[in-house]
Amino acid sequence: MLRGIYTVGMGLQVQEKKMDTISNNLANLNTNGYKKDSAVFNSFNSILVNRINDYYVPSNPSGEVGSMELSTDIGQIHTDYSQGNLINTGNSTDVALSASDNSFFTVEVPEDSEKTEKYTRDGAFSLDSTGQLITREGYTVLGEDGPIILQSQDFKITDKGEVLENSEMIGKLKIKTFKDTNLLRKAGSNLVTVEGEAEEKPFEGKVVQGSVEGSNVNSIKEMIDMITVVRAYEANQKMLKVHDDTLGRAVNDIASLR
């Protein structure tokens, strides 16, 4: 019975974690370039269970109860980097990446008096007072030779990421394409970082000016998953009550025997 209570308790925790993931996806349904997360389940390894402070039993002096597997747990959060729908805005500072799921714009983020490179699919850029191309959060959008600085809103960005002003190329967007997106980790503010040494490859997609990429969250699927989680949680609650009632009867009934 105690094993059942532990197993059901772990099941409740797993469903709570999965609900958190689904809720975060739905909260970012309208976030540009957001990539949905999915909870990946892993089963626990079999563990040896012992009685605590109750080892003196002639038939079992070791106090070992036996092996047990505590249900499953969230092994990892998998991020789906497939492209979202492109939304036409008509703004010259808005840029989207197309036909390349594992490509990202490069931005410069200040951290602890240093500046580090991070990556994003959110191309809703703007110009600051100095004409520098920046993100919503004010991070600098990098070109291959440094920040992109413009003199006006009248500029063009080619499908290769070349920035043209007065028909002259003043820079080229620094676009990173990674072979293995499993090495990417979300870093907040719609940014990702690279964990370890990630192999890169040439950018073969297209840059689309005047558009932004929407999130790749399917609201209908997420709602269905949410209902499934609620049902599973309710089932675990009922099983927990069954185990608790059974344990209560065992304690009370056995104690009344003479």
Query: Looking at the structure, do residues 167 and 123 belong to the same domain, yes or no?
Result: yes
Regarding whether 192 and 98 lie in a shared domain, the answer is yes
**Domain carrying residue 141:** 86-213
Q: What pLDDT shows up at residue 129?
A: 93
Distance CA 25, CA 220 (A): 12
What does the DSSP assignment read for 177-193?
A: EBS-GGGEEEEETTEEE
Count of all residues that appear for the chain in the document: 258
Indicate whether 147 and 98 sit together in one domain: yes
- Do residues 198 and 250 share a domain? no
Q: Are residues 90 and 176 in the same domain?
A: yes
Instruction: Say yes or no: 167 and 198 in one domain.
Output: yes
Q: Does one domain contain both 66 and 166? A: no
Kindly state whether residues 67 and 167 are assigned to the same domain.
no
Overall pTM surpassing 0.95 (yes/no)? no
Residues 188, 232: one domain?
no
Pair (48, 154) in one structural domain:
no
Asked whether residue 74 falls in the same domain as residue 158, the answer is no
Per-residue model confidence as pLDDT tens for the chain (258 residues): 567 787 888 889 889 999 999 999 999 999 999 999 999 887 666 666 666 655 555 666 566 666 666 667 787 899 999 999 999 999 999 999 999 999 999 999 998 889 999 999 999 999 999 999 999 999 999 999 999 999 888 899 999 999 999 989 999 999 999 999 999 999 999 999 998 888 999 999 999 999 999 999 999 999 999 999 999 999 999 998 998 888 887 777 776 655
Give Dmax (Cα) for the chain: 99
What is the distance between the alpha carbons of residues 147 and 145, in angstroms, rounded to a whole number? 7
Provide the number of structural domains found in the chain.
Answer: 2
Is there a single domain that holds both residue 223 and residue 177?
no
**Contact indicator for 123, 32 with CB cutoff of 8 Å:** yes
